[in-house]
Structure 1
Amino acid sequence: MIPLMSGERIKKAWETGDVDHAPLMVGQSIGLIKDIPTCRELLQSMARDCVETLRKAALKAGEGV
């Protein structure tokens, strides 16, 4: 039981990347994850969101003039 309680398995998982055989500490936000995109998909999505946010900000700025 000592290795299970001491965090030894967690440390080994961090060192080796073997997360299939060790507990991982996660917070409440883990429930918000609905997909696991590739890096490419993530960056494309972030770029689209950025463009949309800038477009909306530009429209609002134009309304205030």
Structure 2
Amino acid sequence: MHSNLEEPGRFHLLLASDGRTVQHGWWNSERTALRKFSIWVGERGTMPGASVSPTSRAATR
């Protein structure tokens, strides 16, 4: 993940419960983001109204 002082990575995950953000993160590595996605679904997928949404930004380099 990145600090707030750096530009966020390309791949983003958003964990929400009943429409409210619980956790989110940005990564430069797609592999890392997909691993985190699997972990978040496994650990937090049973929360009431849980959703984990992966997104990516267009490459800027």
Same fold (TM over 0.5): no
Q: Which has the higher helix share?
A: 1
| Pair member with larger Rg | 1
Query: TM-score w.r.t. structure 2 length?
Result: 0.30
Which structure shows the higher strand fraction? Answer: 2
